[in-house]
Amino acid sequence: MRERILRVVLVVVGLFFLASVYPLSTQLWDRTKQGETMMLSLYLALGVFLLLAVRRPSEHRSLIAYAGWANVAHGAVMSLMAIKVPGDRFELMMATLLCLVVGLPLILLTPARLASQSRPYRAPATSTVA
């Protein structure tokens, strides 16, 4: 059940990030929104990889965790910016909320390690020829 919910979240978030292609294409030539354009390009790429992770989420554990924690970190930065930039406070707080709504489910649903990943790495034995 948990994996099914994770797959739904991955599809929804992946498609949401993929939808950033429209604002990215419209803002690409606007020199005043360079930071926004850069972030949209990162989210677009992340959306593609989240959609690829839907098939076998347990094999893409680090990607899913990264997507969740990156959104929470981005939201934290924007909430601090909202304190410093009162003119854009509403926009920044709404973006913070969106980052948390996207990031927290990904963090909470990140799959557990595979059984084969839980064992420490052992170097293969080398043979010595006399």
Question: Using CA atoms in the order 97, 73, 43, 30, what is the torsion angle rounded to 10 degrees?
Answer: 80
Residue 97 lies in a domain: yes
115 located within any domain: no
Read off the pLDDT of each residue in 50-76 and give the average, rounded to a whole number.
Answer: 94
Instruction: Report whether pLDDT(12) > 60.
Output: yes
Return the closest-CA partner of residue 48 out of 2, 10, 102. 10
Number of domains in the chain: 1
Would you say the pTM of this structure is higher than 0.85?
no
Residue 114 located in a structural domain = no
Is residue 17's pLDDT more than 80?
Answer: yes
- Residue 128 forms part of a structural domain: no
Residue of 12, 10, 42 lying closest to 107 (CA atoms): 10
Asked if residue 128 has pLDDT above 80, the reply is: no
Q: Give the pLDDT score at 14.
A: 95
> Domain range for residue 60?
2-109
| Residue 125 is assigned to a structural domain of this protein | no
Tell me if 34 is assigned to some domain.
Answer: yes
Residue 121 lies in a domain: no
- The residue among 94 and 23 whose pLDDT is bigger is 94
Inter-residue contact 56 to 82 (CB < 8 Å): no
> Could you tell me the pLDDT band of residue 103, with boundaries at 50, 70 and 90?
very high
Q: How far apart are the first and last CA of the chain?
A: 57
Question: Which percentage of the chain shows pLDDT scores above 90?
Answer: 55
The pLDDT-based confidence of 34 (bands split at 50, 70, 90) is low
117, part of any domain: no
